[in-house]
Structure 1
Amino acid sequence: PGLVSSSWPEDGHVVLENYQTRYRASLDLVLRGVSCDIRGGEKVGIVGRTGAGKSSLTMALFRLIEAASGRICLSGQHIAPLGLHDVRGKLTILPQDPVIFGGTLGMNLDPLGEKSAVELWEALEHSHLKTFVQSLPDKLDHECGEGGKNLSMGQRQLVCLARALLRQSRVLVLDEATAGVDMETDELIQKTIRREFRACTVLTIAHRLNTVLDYDRIMVLDSGHIKEMDSPRNLLADKNSAFYSMARDAKLV
Structure 2
Amino acid sequence: MANNSVYRTNIVGGREVGVAVTVDMDKNDIHQTNSLFWDTKGNEVLGATALPLYGAFVSEEKCQLFGDVTGKKLLEIGCGSGESLRYQGERNAGELWGMDLSPNQIEKTKQLLAAHGLSANLVCAPMEEQCGIPEFYFDFVYSVYAIGWTTDLEGTFRRIASYLKKDGSFIFSWSHPIHKCVVAENDKLVFKKNYFDESWYSVSLGDSTLSLSDRKLSTYVNALSKAGFVIEQMIEESDDDIIQSWNADNEFANKARMLPVTFVIKARKL
**Coarse TM-score class (shorter-chain normalised):** under 0.3
